[in-house]
Structure 1
């Protein structure tokens, strides 16, 4: 119940022990230097070492620098505010709560390690202000703020030096392995699409193996989303891929397009097997030729980047002649394969340049990187997290002010820190409960040290020896997510509650007071987060789906190009976040399964817009296309509100597509340009009809449309 069994079963590995010993050594070094400099709160020097501890040297350095920047800003704000507001405690509390909430809001919108600086700027201001009030008769606010910055600086320097010099572990190696795995998984998913086992069922629905392909692509998407954040740390280490953050992130942007391509390819392969089962071996042969072509040595050549292999072009021409009833679907598959191979080539070119240490991207690759990462941001969740922190600080300070509890300042500090640290989680309550258990264990350990161990400690070396067993074991737990909530509070709270000073004298009552404040302080943000911030997986999934369809509405009105690709990148990133949610609702599971497939619908609608904008397109077809796009806009709007397949516009969409298909068949102008537009129009209609009839619940209209899709494949 209290995680005793996992703790007893835990066996630290060699890597865990090396990491823990390095961290303990850095902590004691920081504590020794703080003692020698006679700083006000040496415990913050060693405590900060444990807070920024990480097995990878690059992550340690980046996290440390962002922490230093945030600490400096927070301390400066505290120095500015405290002298003017210290005599109006309620107003002071309100201002601190607003500042912390604002910083936390910005932090939650920035899904990079930079967010750490904003979060620190918020709760550091609270901590410095609390310490200033507690020591108002002893130290000035400036001395406390300066001491805080010095303590953090010492911790950062000690941690960075130890991490980079003693058995360093570089994140570049881990990123290299994960990129290679993503590339390998992509090839595996591509083979799965064309595998003979990937046959459609008799009722025309997607086969189980096709669902497995979508699940595999979703897993690849989640992995690449993680890599985008990890890439930031490459600028802070000297290992492999040093300084390759921007090129690697650009490669991941390009990589996201492959997932959309593969979904579209999977749709066409399944449709072609429904049209004619004899196409299955032919499709497998095409897949083998594509893989063989992609495995050729990479040469940076603009012509190759845009050219479809001649032998594959001829293979498609032969298939179109032998299977004229599948001509439209084959043409659509050819286009999807061409785009897929181009994107794979772009990714491999960038990856090859990265490994060669070159940061410049070839000019023929249109960059998708923006000044600020084009990733999903949830302003609603950020506001709720900021409100939870705001309320936590108001309650914590109110208890401190009206109770007259001397060490209530630590309760207020803990309320601010805990509310900020874990508010990014959808449901932080389970982890906060574990954190409270870790704090309880730390309180018990603190009592043992105070009454049975520290009375006999006379030198710094003795102090290090008696702290080593507990601290090293606690730090060993930090790299393991299920046990992080136990190890981190033990390491930090034991040090904080002991309140080690340069001229240390055991004061049990103040230490017990501080330990109790550290124990009860997190309860305030637990309740605030529970009532304000916490969301179930279903609620979070609904929000993501709503934003997905809202973005789909915007995307279908854009012209295909770099801006459109950036939109697709954000949609793919959001889908990656969505697929991490363990929802209970069957409707949400259905919606989550289809959002990646529906992204292809947006592409086909954009292609229809291009056909409508062509001067040779008849006015009647242009008007029908615009009406169809508006109908899909209405459908996406309904989907964003219902979070389930909508029937309201379904019949209308089927009828409009059938009418547009008939108009295209009557388009008889012989011009070569017109013929190309006719084929593009036919392919988009075909793709949309198949998407609607395959991924919507069965209705009579759906069945009739499905038959029309399978039988009307001739341009």
Structure 2
């Protein structure tokens, strides 16, 4: 096994052992919270990354955990102060808070949602733990101790990452931005040729995914160090340029597929030349710019001119990304080109279902625990809150719930081995205890970076049931009670996910397609500020979501991509400026917005038919005002496309 494959297991082992030593050395009341935090922060980041995480990822996750813990502690104190005399109301309010946090976390960025999910179940854990021990009056002390122990665990994880050669993402960024440009050139070759539809679709889909991945690397780079600020600005602009290249290549393919001899012969010949490196692409750009200058704008297709211009700006930014040099005047013009527009989330119903799942699961569990007096109820409640809060934001909540369940089942025999045999033999030696815990952490680290299902849950579950109190006591019945409680809690969370089904997938898909339609219609404007707005990053972000939700539905993908192309073409169309057309643009946007917001199939169909009729009237108005072909042709193509795919765009 190579050294880099052992780097993360060593980090994880060091973080856990250091948290254990500090916890016992400073006589913390519950050192296991520090150890568990080190496990979750280091192990969870590696499990998500599928290997040793990049430098900065651990620090970012650690800061989110600190923020979430503090918010959860404050919320728990407020709830307990307000409802100290009504335990049932107290628990139900905590369940409502957990559901609210999960709902809110489903509407924000995935990388930041961890803090809100943690804030939700932290409040519930504190209240449940204090109720189980009958010590609600010491809530402030308990909250402070929990925060302190969690911060110790986070510091240990970050220190381990800093000591054992953190892996920088900068080289990966340099390599990927170069490869991306070469692949953009290959895509343009396929579109100009033209290649079969299936081959072009695969190349387009791959470039959308890789562009999204490069944009994600930007956040990792900023987590690593503030000195990459200039590269961060360049990567933001590079993301837009990459999406522009994809759109122009796709438009060249679509238009060429419907109109013969759209591309002059010289461009077919030029794009036949191979390019395997950035230097080859650079040479081709020089030749293409000379040909475009010699041919003139009238003899050069708009898509080719726009593609070459975007590729040239891409090459300019690549140099600065590699060197991290100061931003030049030419680069500043590219970086400040167009304001980027953000779109609201399309997952509102999905977020609501997530919040309801968490609230129902924890509320029913709390009421059953209070009614039955079940001794394992507190452990089950904790796991129920943790799994429902963390799993809901994942692309596949059911799989994460299974991962926790498998891990907790494995934790029963593994924890029994440690609790009944190994740990009693290490009572007189801190060194032996560290060796025993370190061996378990090292083996778990190897399996975690391979994404072995159940491994992370088994490690966290085992640490949790070992209690690691100071001083240690070995109550076998209490141990079995806790181990069974957390396994039952994971099983109940899995049942909740299975019973409360999320049927919002088709609704989200239709909403996304209708938003693509709205973006194309809203591009019909004579307002210069609106025409300068850059919608491409938001549109492709939603296209990426559509690809993940419907990976095998090529028709939805083609409809969305065609609407993005229509948006860009209409945004650049030479629309006559007059009051009549400006007023009609508002009417078109209003009708398109009603299509998106319609709550029933009947209303949506009626509004959609009205939109098609209004687009027909708008075509007549453009002819009446002698609009050029660059304006009338895209509007006609948009109307025909919407009419062709009407059933897909309005179905439930």
Aligned to 1:129: 127
Q: Which moved more, 1:134-143 or 1:568-577?
A: 134-143
Kindly indicate whether residue 235 of structure 2 is the aligned counterpart of residue 235 of structure 1: no
Distance in 2 between residues matched to 1:629 and 1:290, nearest whole Å:
44
State how 1:624-635 maps to structure 2 within 5 Å: none
Partner of 1:336: 303
Greater RCO (CA < 8 Å, at least 6 residues apart): 2
Which among 151, 168, 171 is matched to residue 170 of structure 1?
168
Preserved contact between residue 107 and residue 351 of structure 2 (Cα < 8 Å): yes
Tell me the CA shift for residue 563 of structure 1. Answer: 6.8
User: Is residue 385 from structure 1 mapped to residue 349 from structure 2 by the alignment?
Assistant: no
2:513 equivalent to 1:545: yes
Q: Distance in 2 between matches of 1:490 and 1:641?
A: 47
Answer yes or no: is 1:440 the counterpart of 2:409: yes
From 579, 584, 588, the equivalent of 2:547 is 579
Kept in 2, the 8 Å contact 1:553–1:633? The answer is no
Structure 2 partner of 1:314: 294
| In 2: Cα distance, 1:654 partner to 1:309 partner | 37
Shift of residue 653 of structure 1? 8.6
Deviation at 1:344, TM superposition (A): 2.8
- 2:49 alignment partner in structure 1: none
Q: 1:639 to 1:168 in 2, by over 3 A?
A: same
1:206 maps to what in 2?
none
Task: Please tell me whether the aligned partners of residues 64 and 114 of structure 2 are also in contact (alpha carbons under 8 angstroms).
Answer: yes
Contact 1:376 1:573 in 2 (8 A): no
In structure 2, relative to structure 1, the CA distance for the partners of 1:123 and 1:179 (3 Å cut) is: farther
In structure 2, the CA distance between the partners of 1:252 and 1:654, relative to structure 1 (3 Å rule), is: closer
Distance 1:570 1:254 in 2: 13
- Give yes or no for contact 2:415–2:465 (8 Å, CA) kept in 1: yes
Q: How does 1:277-316 map to 2 (within 5 A)?
A: 281-285=265-269, 287=271, 295-296=281-282, 309=289, 311-315=291-295
Instruction: Kindly state the Cα deviation for residue 268 of structure 1 after the two structures are TM-superposed.
Output: 2.9
Cα distance per residue 1:435-486 (max 9 Å; x no partner): 21122112221122233333322322222323344332222232334x2x41
Is the 2:525–2:582 Cα contact (8 Å) retained in structure 1? no
Whether the aligned pair in 2 keeps the contact of 1:193 and 1:213 (CA below 8 Å) is yes
Q: Say which SS state the counterpart of residue 314 (structure 2) adopts.
A: helix
CA distance in 1, matches of 2:515, 2:584: 27
Q: Is the 8 A contact 1:411 1:520 kept in 2?
A: yes
Moved more, 373-382 or 471-480: 373-382
Contact map agreement 2:13 2:438 (CA 8 A) in 1: yes
CA contact (8 A) 1:58 1:171 kept: no
The CA distance in 2 between the partners of 1:613 and 1:591, in whole Å, is 34
For residue 21 of structure 2, what is the aligned residue in structure 1? 32
- CA-CA distance at 1:19 after TM superposition: 0.5
Alpha-carbon shift at residue 63 of structure 1 (Å): 0.8
Equivalent in the alignment of 2:629: 682
> 1:679-705 deviations in whole A, cap 9, x for unaligned?
xx2023334545666897699xxxxxx
- How does the TM-score come out when normalised to structure 1? 0.77
Partner of 2:576: helix, strand, or coil?
Answer: helix
2:64 and 2:269 mapped to 1: Cα distance?
52
Q: TM-score, normalised by structure 2?
A: 0.84
Tell me the distance in 2 between the aligned counterparts of 1:243 and 1:134: 52
After superposition, the Cα gap between the structure-2 partners of 1:639 and 1:696, relative to the gap in structure 1 and judged at 3 Å, is farther
Shift of 1:120: 1.9
2:380 — aligned with what?
A: 411
Question: Could you give the per-residue CA deviations for residues 22-54 of structure 1, whole angstroms, max 9, x where no partner exists?
Answer: 111111101110111222221111111121113
Contact 1:104 1:385 in 2 (8 A): yes
Residue 336 of structure 2: aligned partner: 366
From the superposition, tell whether residues 627 and 449 of structure 1 become closer, same or farther in structure 2 (CA, over 3 Å). Answer: closer
Worse-matched range after superposition: 385-394 or 131-140: 131-140
Deviation at residue 578 of structure 1 after TM alignment? 0.7
CA 1:233 to 1:148, structure 2 compared with 1: closer, same or farther past 3 Å? farther
SS of 1:362's partner is helix
Are 2:438 and 1:474 aligned? no
Once residues 600 and 534 of structure 2 are traced to their aligned partners in structure 1, the CA distance between those partners, rounded to angstroms, is 21
* 1:132-191 deviation line (CA, Å, top 9, x unaligned): 223344982122111111111111111111111213212333333333332232222112
Q: How does 1:462-611 map to 2 (within 5 A)?
A: 462-481=432-451, 483=452, 485-532=453-500, 534-535=502-503, 538=506, 540-556=508-524, 559=527, 565-582=533-550, 589-607=554-572, 611=575
The question of whether the paired residues in 1 share the 8 Å contact of 2:244 and 2:310 is answered with yes
Which piece of structure 1 moves more, 418-427 or 555-564?
A: 555-564
User: How far has the Cα of 1:638 moved from its partner?
Assistant: 9.5
For 1:47, the equivalent position in structure 2 comes to 36
Q: What's 1:460 paired with?
A: 430
